[in-house]
Amino acid sequence: MSTALGDADLLRIENRLAATDKLLESAYPGDSGARQPVHTVYVPADRFAPALAAEWGAQALAAVESAGGMARLAELIGISPSLIDSIADRVAAKLRAEPIEDLRLDFEDGYGDRGPIEDADAVQAAALVSAAVTAGTAPPFIGIRFKCFEKPTRARALRTLDLFVGGLIDAGGLPEGLVLTLPKVTTVAQVEAMVDVAETLEKAHGLAPGRIRFEVQVETPQLVLGPDGRSPLAQLPLAAPGRISGLHYGTYDYSASLGIAAQCQSMEHPVADLAKEIMQLAVAGTGIRVSDGSTNILPLGERAEEAWQLHARLVRRSLERGFYQGWDLHPHQLPTRYLATYAFYREGYPDAASRLRVYLEQATGAVLDEPATARALAWFVLRGAQCGAIDGDEILTDIGIDIDGLTALAHPRLVHV
């Protein structure tokens, strides 16, 4: 059979697509496969103590007991009776061992303007975080949310960040799970400025380039749709390559900025869904994670049951839409966070495990899964294992691979790194 394309044609096409190859390699490396926390808890920075996570866990368990027990709460929020037995004990164990997966000491809205007192609180926060990490009482992910880079708070934000990072270094170094949060971002330039700050801190403290990463909070309409009609969100991966760990949706600041009435502000309002869908599109394939926001309807008082039902439904809704992380504001939200999350993974696990085994054994099943779907199934199971909803032993029994094999299946690029 005759052919028309030769070496010269291939070289021409290679040259034409060289920029595309470089873009895909640098800007779209895919997910790292590292653990993503199921939630972020925010507390005012001056209220943190090394025992805070354990105290939240104890308060959560006490609230469950007052509600009639874990099984009763699971039934209340609509979890299938067939799942309750396999979930209730897991969630109770989680609340005892690791009630908070990600904790942010807040120097922004939850802290306010305290003038020079913030210096002492930033230094103290660094000392306490370091002490908690050393003692093993810190959540796996921990850090601060400093003030935004708008002009009125810019100098204060930089000083608090500088003091906190310097304090951690002086106390022994940056924690492996350090997370820094840049709030109320409006422009790409503010993110570029944060990259400048990160590079300066790394050089000053002798840290490896890229060691300091940060989250961006999506709380302003200007970051979703810029004055030129484009979305600045889509420009962030290239503006801060390798620096941004996540985009976090801010429910109430964003809703208020669009004029949504206070009683209508919600994670499930149409304006929230639009912003979050753009967030997902903007960072798909980049390795930057997305997080949903919070609900301020707390499970307290006479309406506690209603608030638990709302929180569980919103957690489930986020998971179904590909947002595997959200915010929790109170200890009583922890039980429904984990009940809803564990139910999501336990419900989907039998089918995912069965399909993965068929895929790995190259057998004929009721569903013919392509490699992309197999990766999605493996990522689903891996997320469930990372948060404690699924055990490694049952994965080995049901699918035939261990956690390392599951990670390689979910993220095949990692095998070649």
The pLDDT tens digits for 366-391 are 566 688 899 999 999 999 999 999 99
The pLDDT tens digits for 302-348 are 999 999 999 999 999 999 999 999 999 999 999 999 999 999 999 99
- Percent of the chain beyond pLDDT 70? 97
The pLDDT tens digits for 90-113 are 999 999 999 999 999 999 999 999
CA-CA distance, 328 to 60, in Å (whole number)? Answer: 12
The tokens of 74 are what? 């699971």
**CA angle 247-274-336, nearest 5°?**
65
Q: Is the dihedral of CA 84, 85, 88, 93 positive or negative?
A: negative
Mean local confidence (pLDDT), 238-256:
97
**What average pLDDT does the chain have?**
95
CA-CA distance, 365 to 355, in Å (whole number)? Answer: 8
The pLDDT tens digits for 113-152 are 999 999 999 999 999 999 999 999 999 999 999 999 999 9
pLDDT of residue 224: 98
Does residue 314 contact residue 276 with C-beta atoms inside 8 Å? no
Question: 260: helix, coil or strand?
Answer: coil
Q: Would you list the domain boundaries of the chain?
A: 39-344, 348-416
The tokens of 280 are what? 């997902």
Which of 176, 175, 127, 185 is CA-nearest to residue 153?
185
Is 3.40.190.10 the CATH classification of the domain at 39-344? no
Mean local confidence (pLDDT), 38-44:
97
* pLDDT over 60 at 12, yes or no: yes
The tokens of 373 are what? 């779907």
Does residue 269 contact residue 311 with C-beta atoms inside 8 Å? no
| pLDDT band at residue 415 using 50, 70 and 90 as cut-offs | very low
| pLDDT band at residue 412 using 50, 70 and 90 as cut-offs | confident
The pLDDT tens digits for 153-212 are 999 999 999 999 999 999 999 999 999 999 999 999 999 999 999 999 999 999 999 999
| pLDDT band at residue 411 using 50, 70 and 90 as cut-offs | confident
Q: Measured between alpha carbons, how far apart are the two ends of the chain, in Å?
A: 39
pLDDT of residue 416: 40
**CA angle 286-222-273, nearest 5°?**
65
Does residue 171 contact residue 130 with C-beta atoms inside 8 Å? yes
